[in-house]
Amino acid sequence: MEETTAVVNNVAQSAPAGDWTGLLLYCVVIFAIIYIFMVRPNKKRMVEYQKMLDSLKVGNRVMAAGIYGTIKKINENTIEMEVAKGVVIEVNKNAVASVE
C-alpha cells in the first residue's frame, strides 16, 4: 500500500502545477478563431438581410418561401404578394429570400 501511495505522490509532484496560462491562451485563441470565422460574418450577413427587408416596397418582385410574386401591401410583420393575376397570399417578411 505504501508503494502505491509513493508512486502516486511521485507522479503528482512531477506534473507541472498551476500552469494555467498555456491553457487560458489556447482557449482565447480558439474563441478568437471562432469569432473571426463564424460569428462576425454571420452578423454582417444578418445586417445586410435586415437592410434588404427594410428596403421592400410595393411593386417589388420577390421570392418568399420559394414562391415568386409581386408585393401588393406591406404590413409590420407580413407582406401580401400577388403570385398570379388576382391571387394574393400573405407571407411572413422573414420568408423573403431575395428581391429582384
Asked if residue 25 has pLDDT above 70, the reply is yes
pLDDT greater at residue 32 or residue 21: 32
Determine the Cα–Cα distance for residues 83 and 67; give it in Å rounded to an integer.
7
pLDDT tens across 31-60, in order? Answer: 999 999 999 999 999 999 999 999 999 999
Select from 71, 100, 98, 52 the least CA-distant residue to 89: 71
Q: In this structure, are strands 61-64 and 67-74 parallel, antiparallel, or unpaired?
A: antiparallel
CA pair distance 61, 80, nearest whole angstrom: 12
Residue 67 in this model has a pLDDT that exceeds 80 = yes
Is 12's pLDDT higher than 60? no
Helix (H, G, I), strand (E, B) or coil at 85: coil
pLDDT, one tens digit per residue, over 70-89 is: 999 999 999 999 999 999 99
